[in-house]
């Protein structure tokens, strides 16, 4: 079995009383994030709201964290993330927040402690962009949005 990656976490004062972020099952990819808001946050249809999660991370270089939507919120309430997935860079030390978006037709209310998103940590390959005069050809070529029907 692989050695675990250690990621530092610091809970902020407004996270007090909420459960620690955790995976819900041993096979879960993501850690559930809870709303650390003081009051209810109402998200109107077609609107977005920034919901604090109440903690900071220290992600090792060569990794990123991704804030992703929860499938249950998507199917039951048509709630997603405006910038899914949201990227948390290894050098960011601010509070983790969630940009919820209401794709539905009714107001959505976020209450303190609600599970609003999930956090997945991923390894990043080392990438070097190299300028070329010509690129290799593929069957797809420059076919873009909707080119396969």
Coil, strand or helix at 94:
coil
Question: For the structural domain made of 8-123, what CATH number should be given?
Answer: 2.70.40.10
Q: Which residues pair with 99 in a beta bridge?
A: 50
Residues in Cβ contact with 57 at an 8 Å cutoff, skipping those fewer than 6 apart: 7, 8, 9, 10, 65, 88, 92, 93, 96
Task: Please write the tens of the pLDDT for every residue from 79-117.
Answer: 999 999 999 999 999 999 999 999 999 999 999 999 999
Once rounded to an integer, what is the mean pLDDT over residues 135-149? 80
Half-sphere exposure of 14 (CA within 13 A, CB side): 16
- pLDDT band, residue 149 (cuts 50/70/90): low
Would you say residue 145 has pLDDT above 90? Answer: no
Task: Please write the tens of the pLDDT for every residue from 46-67.
Answer: 999 999 999 999 999 999 999 9
Q: Where are the domains of the chain?
A: 8-123
Would you say residue 1 has pLDDT above 60? Answer: no
The pTM for the full model equals: 0.87
């Amino acid at each position: 079995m692989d050695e675990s990656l250690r990621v530092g976490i610091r809970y902020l004062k407004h996270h007090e009383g909420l459960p620690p972020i955790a995976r819900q099952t041993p096979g879960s990819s993501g850690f559930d994030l809870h709303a650390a808001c003081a009051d209810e946050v109402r998200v109107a249809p077609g609107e977005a709201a920034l919901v604090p999660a109440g903690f900071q991370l220290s992600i090792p270089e060569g990794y990123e964290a991704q804030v992703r939507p929860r499938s249950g919120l998507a199917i039951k309430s048509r709630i997603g993330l405006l910038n899914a997935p949201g990227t948390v860079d290894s050098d960011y030390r601010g509070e983790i927040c969630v940009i919820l978006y209401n794709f539905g037709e009714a107001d959505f209310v976020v209450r303190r402690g609600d599970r609003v998103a999930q956090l997945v940590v991923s390894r990043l390959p080392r990438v070097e962009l190299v300028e070329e005069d010509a690129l290799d050809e593929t069957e797809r070529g420059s076919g873009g949005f909707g080119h396969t029907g």
